[in-house]
Amino acid sequence: MKKRALAVAIVSGLFLFSPLFILTVNAADIRVNEESVVVDEYVDDDLYVNAGSIEINEDVNGDLVAGGGQIVINDDIYGHAMIGGGTIEINGDIRGSLFVGGGQITVNGRIYEDANIGGGMVTLNGDVDDDVRIGGGTVYIRSTEIGGDLFVGAGNGSVSNDTEVGGDTQVEFGDAQGSKAFDFKDVFRFQQRSFVSILLDFLRKLGVLVGWLIVGYLLFKFAPVKSKTIANTLTDKNSSVMSLVVGVVFMLSLIIIVPGLILLTVLGIGQPLLGLFFSLLAVALTIGGLYSATGLTRMIIRLKKPKYEGLMLPMLIGVTVYQILGWIPWIFCCLGPIVKILITTWGVGGILVSKWNMIKESKGK
């Protein structure tokens, strides 16, 4: 329980601190590409990057916010770094704090302040001047020196005997015999949970909600025209039903696509493609859920105000309700998760229908 609670606290922290990076977005260097972004020149500003593959080969004199399938940082970041992706490798130094979440994470550079990491497989080789907080499946600590406290919650892993920790150490790994199987009766055992465990679980959920609201704010602020187009597609009587149909077809197609990619990976030829696919799929499902929650709330508001065209307020209300639905335990008729799945499916369909309509309009011109 301590292990799980610690991991939850670490991962929630990655989201809870994310608003710090929004404050300077207006003055940032923003680079977005569906395939890849390579930074080979010195960046004298905050840098915001989103792409399938990201490689940073020169110093960034500011904060870094990066999201993508594969991310490699080969030079120094002179501010804070917030990074999310599939495979992440950090070879340069981070002069501020590091907030990173992903599938496979390797940190070779020095972290001058705190290191906050959540991932499937995490390897920390570089030194950290302040605190280290890591939650993940497998965690390896191979640093020479950690100046502050060390907190680790993971299924398995190890801490090198050569690692010197200046502060407190709390390391929780899973039982060597494997994790305890899920017991359906545990759903009813709320009274056995400590106050700290309940609080950390709430903070995790709150952190995810804050993260979604930030994504929605950025999306609607920097892509207002496309966002309004998708929202209109979801709220239009004709295209709304079509969006749900297309979304269902898309979800069913994953039954064929995912096993095919896994087979290619087993054959040794599809591993990079598999990682990129799941990263893009996660982005698509997130954005789909965000747009559909916004669109549904917009439809409800229009029952009172038929000419309402706003996006920010419906996004704020819709995303909050959408996330709260996921907090409902499966035992209660599976209501919350099922509703979330349907809403997300509808949203993904709306994005695809909007894109198709844009293509048809461009060809018509």
User: CA 244, 251, 279: angle at the middle one, nearest 5?
Assistant: 120
Angstrom CA distances, 130 to 99, 127, 151, 170, stand at 13, 9, 12, 15
Domain that holds residue 336: 222-364
The pLDDT tens digits for 11-46 are 434 433 343 333 334 445 778 776 789 999 999 988
Based on the fold, state whether residues 59 and 153 are members of the same structural domain.
yes
Does 31 lie in the same domain as 124? yes
- Measured CA angle at 237 (ends 233, 241), to 5 deg: 75
Cβ atoms of 347 and 295 within 8 Å: the answer is yes
Phi, psi at 337, each rounded to 5°: -60, -40
Do residues 175 and 228 share a domain?
A: no
Its pTM stands at: 0.48
Does the residue 310 lie in any domain? yes
Q: Are residues 171 and 227 in the same domain?
A: no
148 shares a domain with 26: yes
Measuring CA to CA, which residue among 46, 76, 32, 71 is closest to residue 58? 76
Last residue of a domain, one of 149, 180, 211: 180
Q: Are residues 244 and 155 in the same domain?
A: no
Claim to verify: residue 157 and residue 245 sit in the same structural domain: no
Whole-number percent of the chain with pLDDT over 70: 74
pLDDT at residue number 198 = 63
- The SS3 assignment for 94 reads strand
* Within a domain: 264: yes
Last residue of a domain, one of 146, 180, 214: 180
217 in any annotated domain? no
| Co-location of 36 and 162 in the same domain | yes
Q: Is residue 20 included in any domain, yes or no?
A: yes
Q: How far is CA 3 from CA 61, 232, 276, 346, in A?
A: 37, 45, 30, 36
Q: Do 291 and 343 touch, CB atoms closer than 8 A?
A: no
Q: Are 81 and 63 in contact (CB under 8 A)?
A: yes
Does some domain include residue 188? no
Say if residue 167 is in the same domain as residue 232: no
Kindly state whether residues 77 and 135 are assigned to the same domain: yes
Structural domain includes residue 208: no
Whether residue 180 has pLDDT greater than 50? no
Structure tokens belonging to residue 148: 């502050």
Shared domain for 167 and 228, answered yes or no, is: no
State the DSSP string of 149-203: -EEEEEEEEEE-TT-EESS-EEEEE--TT-PPPP-GGGGG-GGGS-HHHHHHHHH
Query: Rounded distance, CA 259 to CA 236, Å?
Result: 35
Residues 92-109 have pLDDT tens digits of 999 999 988 778 899 999
- pLDDT digit string, tens, across residues 44-61: 988 888 888 899 999 999
Do 42 and 122 belong together in one domain?
Answer: yes
Last residue of a domain, one of 164, 180, 196: 180
Domain count, the chain: 2
Determine, yes or no, domain membership for 318: yes
Q: Does the residue 37 lie in any domain?
A: yes
Is 4 exposed, middle or buried (CB count within 10 Å of its CB: 0-12, 13-18, 19+)?
A: middle
Secondary structure (3-state) at 300: helix
- Tell me the three state secondary structure of residue 56: strand
> For the chain, what percent of residues have pLDDT higher than 90?
21
Q: At CB < 8 A and 24+ separation, what contacts does 249-257 make?
A: 249/349, 250/345, 250/348, 250/349, 250/352, 251/345, 251/348, 254/281
